Structures are given as C-alpha cells and as structure tokens.
C-alpha cells in the first residue's frame, strides 16, 4: 500500500480525498492529511454565514472527519513546516515526520494586506478563517459594550470578499465603510453600469462606500482607530478588516525548491504536477501553467484530475469557467464570459433601470453572414434570473434577440433548455455539462432531480442549477410523477385544492371519488393533515381524533404524544418562546414526580416528559391543562417551537423584545398542520443567540425593526435560512410570515421541509418573495384570510380529548383490562432518573 500525504485541509483537499477514496476500490492508497487549522474542512465559500449563528458545525463539510475510514488519517492543528524531497518525508510543526510516496500541496492562499502604515495595530483584522471571524466578533462585542451609539468599521477592499466582510460586520450591528481603490465595487466581476447600481443598492442597505481611494494611514486614537483616506476623508473607527484579495501560499514549495511563478503560485503542468514528478499542487496555491485560480470550482477540477492520476488514469486541467453568481446582502450579482467586452468587434446590449433596481448587459459578437450573433458574456445586477440560461450559451449562437433574453422570466419565455448545446456547462461548481446530465437521464435512468444529483453531482454544491435540472428532465420527456402514492394520482398540492374546492370532509369520500383502493400509511396521514388544516382555516373546526379522522393518523398523532423506543410516550407541553412562570414549572415538576417520568430540557426551550403509558396520558394532560398549559404538538407535522433569546428585556446587546415577539408568533401559529414540522426562532440582535437562521422561519432584530429569514433547517441536511425582507415593522413581519406559512401548507409536497421546497421552486426565493410580498399570483388576500381563520378556530387538542368521553376511551393499555400495566415495559435508574430497559439491548451503566 502506498502513502499519499495531503498538505492542507480546505475544501479542495477534502474533494481530493473524497474523490480518491470513492474510486480506490482496491485500497491502493493510504491517505494522511496534515492540517494547519484545528478543525475538519469547512465551507469557506459560505464563511460569512458563520455570523448568522456562530455554529461551526453548520459550515463543516460532510464526512470531513473521515470517521470510520481506516485508510484516512487526519492530523489537525499541526502544519507542515518542511518537505525533504530526496527522502520523501514531510515534517510538521510538532516534529512529526511523515513519509510519502506521493505528496499533494493544497495550502490555499493568504489574505493580502496592503502596506498601509498601522495595518498591524490592535483592532486590525483579516477575513479568511473561522478564527478570524471569532476574533472580529470579540472586538465588535468589546466595542459595542464600551461605547455609546453604533460602532463603526472600515473594510479595505470592495471586491467580492470585501463586500462579504462588510455584510458580516453589518449583521453584527456595525456601520461599515467599504474602501475600494478601483472606481467601482467588484471591479473584476461588473462594469461601470453594474457598479453604479450595485453601489446604490448596497448603500440603501446601510453601507457607506468610498471608491477610487485607499487608506493612507491607520493610527491609534485612544481605545479607537483613526484613518485618513487618500481623498482626504477621515474616519473614526472601532476596527478595520482587510479583505483586499488573496495571495497563493507557496512558502513551503519555495523552501522545498519547487518552481514557483513570478507573481506567486506553485508552477504545475496541465496535470497539476509540479517540477517534482511525485508532488502535485491543487487549489488556490497552484499556478497551472503559470495561472492561479481563486475560485473553488477549478480547485475541485484539479483535485479530481490528481485523484485520477494517482489511480493510473490520465487527466488534464481543461481550463475553467470563471463565471460568478452570488447574492450580497440580498442583492443578486452575476457575471459570465467576456463581461467587460474585451473581444474585438464585440457589441453590448444593455437594459438598465435604477428605479426598478436592475442592470443587465449582454456582450455579443457582430452578426455573421447568417445573421447570427455569438453570446460572449454578460453582467447582471439586481436581477440575475437569466444567469442559468445565459451562462451555458457563452460561445454559442444566440437563439433569440439579445434584448428579449434580458426580459421578464430571464429569457425562458423566448428560449428553453433545448437551445443549449450538449457541451454547455449546467453546473459550474462541479463542471457538469448538459450532455452529461441528459446522458444520466437517458442512459442511467435518472428520472428525478435527486437521482441526477447522486449520479452527476450537479446541484450538490451551491444549488443554483437545480431548477435547470428539473427543466432538463422535462426536455428529455421524463414525466416526473406527482402522485402522492399508488392510491392517488394527484400530488399533495392537488389533493389540497380538491378538498378545498369540493368541501369533501372525509378520507372515505375522497378516495371513493378521486382515488383507488383503501389507502395506505402514506396517503392517510397526508390527507388527515390537509383535513385538519382545512378544518381550522376554511371550515368550522374539528379535532384530529374526531370520527374517521382518528383512523387516519399515525401512531404519534393518534395518541397526541410521541411514542418512544420502549412503547411508552413522551409529553411536551407548549412553553411559548421558552418563557414560563415558576408556578407552571412547579406543576411540571410535580407531574414528573407523581408519574415517575424522565425529564429533559429540549433544544427548542421546552421540557420533555418521557415514560408515560397510554392510560396515563389523559391524567398527565389534565394536570397540565388545569395549570394553564396545552399541547406543544411535538407529535404532529405542525409548528413545534419559536425559540427566543432574552432580547432587549434583559440583554444589554438586545435591540428589540425577542421574547414578546416569539410568544406572540408561537401562540399565533400553534396547531397549524403542515407538510412537515415547522421550527422558528427570534433573536433580539445580530448576535443571534436563538439560532434563527437555522429555522424554517427566523426573525432577527435590527435597530429599525425585524429581518425575516425563511427556508432553514437542521437535520441530516442542514440549511441556512435566506433573507426574505429587511427592517420590517411588526405588523408587516407577521403578515409576511402568515403568507409564507399558508403558501407552504398549500404548495409543498408531503414531508417536504421548507428548505427543499424553496430550493425546488421555479425561481426559488425570488419567486417566493414575489408571491408573498408583491402578490404576484393574486392570492395574498386568500392566504391572509386562511391564517386569520386558523387563529380564530384554534383549539387545544389535549383539552378536546379531556372534554370528550368517546375520545378518552381510546387511551387505555388494554381494551379488555383497563388500568392493567403493560408487562413488556420496564425501567432502570440512570443519573437519578428512570430510563427504559430494552429487550435484547445490553445494559450500559453510566456513572
């Protein structure tokens, strides 16, 4: 077995190890990753999102700890300091010596700090790693705690990284100044026209922009900093962040005698091999035939090329698509191809509307003899909906008038995916062409977006190409079944409309008129959920255990409690916003003690009581209901919790009453039956202690009001919520949440969380915003009325059972022997509480 040593542990390094291990079925290589940072590889592209929740795990790349893989060794926090090429050994800072048969340098890049006098003073930072952001956060907290008014910061650099840093500082509650030496923001990606609009849009979002100037000096001024710009502007600051580009980290290569470029970077050939045939370089440190690439997509390509060579296959770097599409503080920016019209005899087609907030430019060739023009490139600011269609067409004849392709719907109204050539790159992150995707559809039987993702990796990184995958399925004639199950040929959305329009009130009537058979465990709970939703919004009320409804529910809903692994149930009373009185806490403690229940505080700021038998449930509910509590719906596909921090009531950083709003929202949306569970959070400031950006809908306080985020979730595939609207007053905020939830209830698939629902929506977040903010579909009045009816008709499901003898009769362990304990249920003591004894499971005693 041969040993591969990988120096560096970033995204590209991880892709290399991932690709090698996936293909090395014979176990020919043992991999040793020598990392400088103290943690497994994380998504550095999404570094700014770390500010949203300060959750390292949310950024950590899946599988980057290589747990369970005996052929991968990961050494963290121990960087390589030297390489002995003759002996084929790498030595780390701790003195560890690692022999290798092949070595890959994936050392990345370092931030460029302009030689400004005072750049190394306390309060000056770079913006590159999680540690950098942690240091910035500490400085921000100190500044906000020791001064009155809003703290100020300067970001040196107005490119992509600089604006990302400015966004992070703004989200932390500072007033950022962005200083860019070029005459416009993002000078590499956008032109003058796009730069002017971008400046206007980010200025409207509370950034102060200084272009065509630079920092002349930085000086200490008491406990603050003072800087003077070359245009004479003077700024009083609390901190400075340098985010003015990067430089390849080639120091190790230089000291090892490898060839490096005149302007930096480790020289490699097209196979990514350095001047030493046993050493490769990939990612931002590599200068492939003299050129460095500062994007992750070409780094991924290099990683896969090297993995192929290590396994005896050929591979060469094919060049890369440097197109960029991003969202900065809610502003869409995209550039592709020859964005600056440097091609000889090229012409520009521009559609600009500063009032409407968009700038669109195409660069095209002059007409050929057949009257055709080639698409050469473009710039999109404010509205980048045309990007997915236009970028793959670069270098190809335009299938329609250029101006028409910049119109509404991003050109899709005049040309479809059929016009794209097979070599058009649909997924730039993973270099997947249209031809590769259509081949997967036709030859590999990929008949869904999920299968295409698994087969080709398209759509698995940034996700912006996912709508194109669905369109390619349609173009290939693949009928994507919307059937809920074998008993209904309709989707959940269509069944919702049928039930709403026909006013059918039972599953039996629905399946008799619109389905086949007797139903199953898929359609019965789904229809039950729809009926429950309609009962509280469009009809006169009802209970989930009323009549036929009871027979449709799954086990948890049937008993209004969560079944646990030993056959007992847990009881979770609602604690709105996490706020609870001592009297209610006392009742919960008494109930837990009286019924011998295991108690645990959940991540959603509630108290879970475990170990109740079926016959005990009504008695427990009675005690809780009499004390003023109600069902927390922990068992249902409905709103679970609205988590909150203590906000401005107690916290010195809080700018709004997060607890009060969380309580109001939880009481408003309690009992709302939905396609999947719903979780929410309200944070009283940008410190985000309620982790609102990890919820289906999250609210973060600003000095002007509230920011609303939607489409986040935890679980196996965690997602960060995206900003839907900013600085809202409370009434507008609640209106938008009402519409968002009702639209989701009516339009999502069965068991589909809000994150994938938005991702798979044609137009994504922009379409969602158009529907619930701009009323694009003309349904907002209907959504508002539906939510008002839900709020009006809400009734506690526990109380509904307690007040109905027929429903109460369901809650017995044995129908023929009520009150008899179940002999299969037993417990043992652990940490002073009882826990279940499971048959066939070895007992582990914890002390």
For the chain, which domains are there? Answer: 2-109+248-310 (3.50.50.60), 124-244 (3.50.50.60), 321-415 (3.30.390.30), 416-480 (1.10.10.1100), 492-553 (no CATH), 559-793 (3.30.413.10)
Coil, helix or strand at residue 630: coil
pLDDT confidence of residue 460: 72
Instruction: Report yes or no: 675 and 751 within 8 Å, Cβ to Cβ.
Output: yes
Q: Confirm or deny that 427 is annotated as ligand binding.
A: no
Tokens of 161: 């990284």
Instruction: Report yes or no: 482 and 491 within 8 Å, Cβ to Cβ.
Output: yes
Q: Confirm or deny that 651 is annotated as ligand binding.
A: yes
pLDDT confidence of residue 91: 97
The most confident of the ranges 364-378, 780-794, 832-846 is: 780-794
Kindly state the DSSP code that residue 589 receives in the 8-state scheme.
Answer: H
Residues 6+ apart with CB under 8 A from 125: 132, 135, 136, 139, 239, 240, 241, 242
Residues 6+ apart with CB under 8 A from 122: 220
Over pLDDT 70: what percentage of the chain? 93
Question: For the range 813-817, what are the long-range contacts, defined as Cβ-Cβ under 8 Å and sequence gap of 24 or more?
Answer: 813/613, 813/614, 813/615
- Kindly write down the DSSP assignment for every residue of 198-267, as one continuous string: HHHHHHTTT-EEEES--EEEEEEETTEEEEEETTS-EEEESEEEE-S-EEE--HHHHHTT--B-TTSSEE
Work out the pLDDT band at 847, boundaries 50, 70, 90: very low
Work out the pLDDT band at 845, boundaries 50, 70, 90: very low
Backbone angles phi, psi at 342, to 5 degrees: -85, -15
Task: Extract the runs of DSSP E, i.e. beta strands, from 383-422.
Answer: none
pLDDT digits (tens, 9 = 90+) for 279-321: 999 999 999 999 998 888 899 999 999 999 999 998 888 877 7
Higher local confidence (pLDDT), 815 or 451: 451
Asked whether residue 662 carries a pLDDT value surpassing 50, the answer given is yes
Alpha-helix residue ranges (DSSP H) falling in 319-465:
387-390, 434-443, 449-456
Work out the pLDDT band at 464, boundaries 50, 70, 90: low
Write the CA distances from 490 to 59, 299, 486, 508, integer angstroms.
38, 44, 10, 16
* Of the candidates 699, 694, 755, the residue with the CA atom closest to the CA atom of residue 720: 694
pLDDT confidence of residue 383: 83
Asked whether residue 554 carries a pLDDT value surpassing 80, the answer given is no
245 vs 159: CA distance, rounded Å: 8
pLDDT confidence of residue 838: 55
pLDDT digits (tens, 9 = 90+) for 107-128: 999 999 999 999 999 999 999 9
Work out the pLDDT band at 548, boundaries 50, 70, 90: confident
Asked whether residue 675 carries a pLDDT value surpassing 50, the answer given is yes
Q: Confirm or deny that 689 is annotated as ligand binding.
A: yes
Higher local confidence (pLDDT), 95 or 531: 95
Backbone angles phi, psi at 521, to 5 degrees: -70, -10
Instruction: Report yes or no: 74 and 65 within 8 Å, Cβ to Cβ.
Output: yes
Over pLDDT 90: what percentage of the chain? 48
Asked whether residue 758 carries a pLDDT value surpassing 60, the answer given is yes
107 vs 6: CA distance, rounded Å: 9
pLDDT confidence of residue 812: 74
Higher local confidence (pLDDT), 395 or 313: 313
Residues 6+ apart with CB under 8 A from 580: none
Tokens of 451: 């299968």
Work out the pLDDT band at 839, boundaries 50, 70, 90: very low
pLDDT confidence of residue 414: 52
Task: Extract the runs of DSSP E, i.e. beta strands, from 289-330.
Answer: 291-292, 324-328
Asked whether residue 59 carries a pLDDT value surpassing 80, the answer given is yes
Chain mean position to CA 776: 25
Asked whether residue 155 carries a pLDDT value surpassing 90, the answer given is yes
pLDDT confidence of residue 369: 79
pLDDT confidence of residue 844: 43
Q: Confirm or deny that 272 is annotated as ligand binding.
A: no
Instruction: Report yes or no: 691 and 655 within 8 Å, Cβ to Cβ.
Output: no
Instruction: Report yes or no: 702 and 779 within 8 Å, Cβ to Cβ.
Output: no
pLDDT confidence of residue 507: 87
Tokens of 714: 């935890």
- Secondary-structure percent of the chain, ordered helix, strand, coil, rounded to 5: 35, 25, 45
Write the CA distances from 109 to 49, 384, 667, integer angstroms.
20, 29, 50
What is the enclosing helix (H) or strand (E) of 673? none
Residue with tokens 């003690």: 593
pLDDT confidence of residue 540: 41
Work out the pLDDT band at 270, boundaries 50, 70, 90: very high
pLDDT confidence of residue 484: 80
Asked whether residue 653 carries a pLDDT value surpassing 90, the answer given is no
Asked whether residue 825 carries a pLDDT value surpassing 80, the answer given is no
pLDDT confidence of residue 387: 82
Average pLDDT, the chain: 87
Buried b / exposed e along 83-99 (16+ C-beta atoms within 10 A): bebeebebebeeeeebe
> What's the N-to-C CA distance of the chain in angstroms?
43
Residue with tokens 């289906």: 696
Residues 6+ apart with CB under 8 A from 514: 488, 490, 495, 498
* Of the candidates 296, 260, 240, the residue with the CA atom closest to the CA atom of residue 127: 240
Work out the pLDDT band at 813, boundaries 50, 70, 90: low
Asked whether residue 353 carries a pLDDT value surpassing 90, the answer given is no
């Amino acid at each position: 077995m041969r040993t591969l040593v990988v120096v560096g542990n970033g995204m590209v390094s991880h892709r290399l190890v991932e690709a090698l291990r996936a293909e090395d079925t014979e176990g020919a290589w043992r991999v040793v990753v020598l990392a400088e940072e103290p943690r497994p590889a994380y998504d550095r592209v999404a570094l700014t999102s770390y500010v949203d929740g300060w959750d390292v795990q949310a950024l950590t790349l899946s599988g980057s700890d290589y747990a369970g893989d005996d052929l991968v060794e990961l050494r963290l926090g121990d960087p390589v300091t030297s390489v002995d090429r003759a002996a084929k050994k790498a030595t780390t800072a701790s003195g560890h010596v690692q022999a290798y048969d092949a070595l890959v340098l994936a050392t990345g890049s370092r931030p460029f700090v302009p030689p400004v006098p005072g750049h190394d003073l306390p309060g000056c930072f770079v913006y590159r790693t999680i540690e950098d952001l942690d240091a910035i956060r500490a400085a921000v907290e100190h500044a906000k705690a020791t001064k009155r008014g809003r703290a100020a910061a300067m970001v040196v650099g107005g490119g992509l990284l600089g604006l990302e840093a400015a966004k992070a500082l703004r989200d932390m509650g500072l007033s950022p100044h962005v200083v860019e030496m070029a005459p416009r923001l993002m000078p590499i990606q956008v032109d003058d026209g796009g730069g002017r609009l971008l400046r206007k849009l980010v200025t409207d979002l509370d950034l102060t922009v200084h272009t065509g100037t630079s920092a002349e000096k930085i000086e200490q001024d008491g406990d603050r900093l003072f800087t003077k710009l070359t245009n004479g502007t003077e700024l009083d600051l609390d901190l400075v962040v340098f985010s003015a580009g990067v430089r390849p980290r080639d120091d190790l290569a230089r000291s090892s005698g490898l060839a490096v470029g005149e302007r930096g970077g480790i020289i490699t050939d097209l196979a990514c091999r350095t001047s030493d045939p046993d050493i490769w370089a990939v990612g931002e440190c590599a200068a492939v035939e003299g050129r460095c690439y500062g994007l992750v997509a070409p780094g991924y390509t290099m990683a896969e090329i090297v993995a192929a060579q290590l396994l005896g296959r050929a591979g060469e770097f094919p060049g890369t698509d440097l197109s960029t599409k991003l969202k900065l503080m809610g502003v869409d920016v995209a550039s592709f191809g020859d964005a600056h019209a440097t091609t000889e005899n090229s012409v520009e087609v521009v559609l600009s509307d500063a009032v409407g907030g968009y700038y669109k430019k195409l660069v095209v060739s002059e007409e050929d003899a057949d009257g055709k023009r080639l698409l050469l490139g473009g710039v999109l600011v404010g509205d980048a909906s045309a990007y997915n269609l236009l970028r793959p067409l670069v270098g190809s004849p335009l299938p329609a008038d250029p101006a028409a392709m910049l119109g509404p719907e991003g050109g899709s109204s005049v040309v479809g995916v059929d016009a794209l050539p097979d070599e058009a790159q649909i997924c730039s992150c993973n270099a997947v062409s249209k031809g590769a995707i259509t081949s997967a559809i036709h030859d590999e039987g990929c008949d869904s977006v999920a299968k295409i993702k698994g087969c080709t990796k398209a759509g698995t990184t940034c996700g912006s190409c996912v709508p194109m995958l669905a369109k390619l399925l349609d173009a290939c004639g693949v009928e994507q079944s919307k059937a809920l199950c074998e008993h209904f040929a309709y989707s959940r959305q269509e069944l919702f409309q049928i039930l709403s329009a026909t006013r059918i009130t039972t599953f039996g009537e629905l399946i008799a008129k619109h389905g086949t058979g007797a139903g199953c465990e898929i359609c019965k709970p789904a229809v039950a959920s729809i009926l429950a939703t309609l009962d509280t919004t469009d009809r006169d009320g009802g209970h989930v255990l009323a009549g036929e409804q009871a027979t449709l529910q799954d086990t948890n809903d049937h008993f209004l409690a969560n079944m646990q692994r030993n056959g007992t149930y847990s009881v979770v009373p609602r604690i709105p916003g996490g706020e609870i009185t001592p009297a209610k806490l006392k009742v919960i403690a008494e109930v837990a003690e009286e019924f011998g229940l295991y108690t645990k505080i959940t991540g959603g700021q509630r108290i879970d009581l475990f170990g109740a038998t079926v016959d005990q449930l009504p008695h427990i509910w009675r005690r809780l209901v009499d004390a003023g509590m109600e069902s927390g719906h922990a068992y249902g596909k409905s709103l679970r919790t609205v988590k909150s921090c203590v906000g401005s009531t107690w916290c010195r950083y809080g700018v709004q009453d997060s607890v009060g709003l969380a309580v109001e929202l939880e009481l408003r949306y309690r009992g709302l039956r939905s396609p999947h569970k719903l979780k929410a959070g309200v944070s009283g400031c940008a410190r985000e202690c309620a982790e609102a950006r990890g919820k289906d809908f999250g609210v973060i306080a600003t000095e002007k009001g509230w920011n609303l985020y939607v489409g986040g979730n935890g679980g196996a595939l965690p997602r960060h919520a995206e900003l839907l609207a900013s600085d809202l007053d409370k009434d507008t905020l609640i209106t938008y949440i009402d519409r968002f939830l009702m639209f989701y209830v009516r339009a999502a698939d069965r068991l589909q969380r809000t994150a994938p629902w938005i991702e798979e929506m044609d137009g994504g977040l922009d379409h969602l915003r158009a529907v619930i903010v701009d009323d694009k579909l003309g349904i907002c009045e209907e959504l508002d009325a539906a939510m008002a009816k839900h709020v009006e008709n809400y009734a506690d499901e526990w109380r509904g059972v307690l007040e109905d003898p027929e429903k109460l009769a369901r809650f017995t362990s044995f129908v023929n022997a009520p009150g008899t304990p179940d002999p299969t249920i037993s417990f043992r003591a652990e940490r002073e509480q009882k826990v279940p004894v499971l048959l066939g499971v070895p007992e582990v005693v914890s002390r």
